[in-house]
Amino acid sequence: MIRRGVSFLALVLIGVGAFELLRNANVIDRRVTLGPFVLMALGVWLLFAPRRWVGHHLWSFLVPVALIAVGVVILLEELDITPPDFSIGPVIVIVLGVALLLSAISRPSHWKRPPRGWAVTRGQPGSAGDELQIIALEGARSATIRVTHGAGGLVIGPTSDPSVLVQGTFGGGVEPKLRRSGDRAEVDLNQSWPRRGGPSPGGRTWAGTTRRDWTMGLSRTIPLVLDLRTGASDSRLDLRELTVTDLRVEAGASRLDLQLPAKGRTVARLRVGAAGVRITVPSGTAARIRTRQGLASVRVDPNRFSRIGNEYLSKGFESAADRVELDIDAGAADVTVS
């Protein structure tokens, strides 16, 4: 930041010196002053400067365009090109109107074009920063869904719409990515963070804290691979009605309530830090549970799972059609499995 400021000041000094030199050499008309060039240069700089200097997207158009226009008009007046009774007022009004029009029809810098297949609605009922996003199944027979959620609440369950792969409300905004290859879909959902000096991605433009609670529904009609990474969040994952073949969860300083899939075969790997974790294996679903723990406390229901070394095993696990292989790597967590 300091280097940029010094560079800008150096360019200003060079420009002022060159202007005065050319005017003294009669290359520039002596009637012309430095003022119009300063206004035009400032307008051009603001037009391409980082948005934190300009603020809201509207002013990023209005301010620089108005400065450039005023500078041009003053220069024309100094060169006696404009009529004697010319007034600068109407020019400023026209310029402001054009800038407002451009601001209205152009897309703000924080609004990212959603990937193909996404239907996006902003400002849904709920907090001011909520986004409703929906992605259709569109013939997908399997999907990988990756979720990165740093802070706030995270709720994941099944969706009731058979034509939908993912739908949810994302407090504070989300940065989605979608890729399709044949009958397979890949979805990445990353938490958005506001740019300094600009509006929040969730649509909030005034100072304050935006709730970053996410509530998502996933398809129950196709097999899923889920990769979930959370930070300081409160997560409730109800996967009982979903077909999840591969589940990976990384949780930091958070609370996690995980209900595992009831049907099919699932391989689940959990890596948790200073977290409070409660894991539920549905009734009728067999499980093999392996634990690696540092300072963690891991409690497994002895009535359902027999302990063999660091493993806990359901009776009839090897022949069970519906079963979970659960691997837990816990740091300073408090883990309960029932």
Structure confidence by residue, pLDDT tens digits, 80-129:
777 777 766 777 777 677 766 665 554 443 334 444 444 444 444 444 45
Report the C-alpha gap between 173 and 190 in whole angstroms. 9
Q: Is the pLDDT of residue 279 over 50?
A: yes
The mean pLDDT of the chain is: 78
What tokens were used for 156?
A: 């994941």
Q: Report residue 297 CA to chain centroid gap.
A: 34
What tokens were used for 267?
A: 């391989």
Q: Which of residues 25 and 228 earns the better pLDDT score?
A: 228
> Which amino acid, residue 280?
T
Q: Residue 178's pLDDT band (boundaries 50, 70, 90)?
A: very high
**Torsion angle defined by CA atoms of residues 48, 49, 51 and 55, in that order, rounded to the nearest 10 degrees:** -100
Region of residue 257 (left: phi > 0; alpha: psi -120 to 50; beta: else)? beta
What is the pTM for the complete model shown?
A: 0.61
Tokens 């004697």 belong to residue = 84
Tokens 């150096």 belong to residue = 10
Give the pairing type, strands 174-181 and 130-136: unpaired
Q: How far is residue 154 from each of residues 186, 214, 222, 277, measured CA to CA in Å?
A: 20, 5, 22, 14
Name the β-bridge partners of 187.
145, 178
> Strand, helix or coil at 197?
coil
Other beta carbons within 10 Å of 67: 21
Tokens 């108005």 belong to residue = 66
Q: How far is residue 146 from each of residues 15, 214, 324, measured CA to CA in Å?
A: 52, 14, 20
- Average pLDDT estimate for 67-79: 78
pLDDT in tens, 295-338: 678 899 999 999 988 799 999 999 999 999 999 988 777 889 99
Q: Which of 274, 277, 200 is nearest to 237 (CA)?
A: 277
Q: Residue 39's pLDDT band (boundaries 50, 70, 90)?
A: confident
Q: Is the pLDDT of residue 50 over 70?
A: no
Contact by Cβ (8 Å): 250, 230: yes
Give the pairing type, strands 334-337 and 306-308: unpaired
Q: Is the pLDDT of residue 70 over 90?
A: no
User: Using DSSP, how many helices (H) and how many strands (E) does the chain show?
Assistant: 4, 18
Report the C-alpha gap between 39 and 67 in whole angstroms. 5
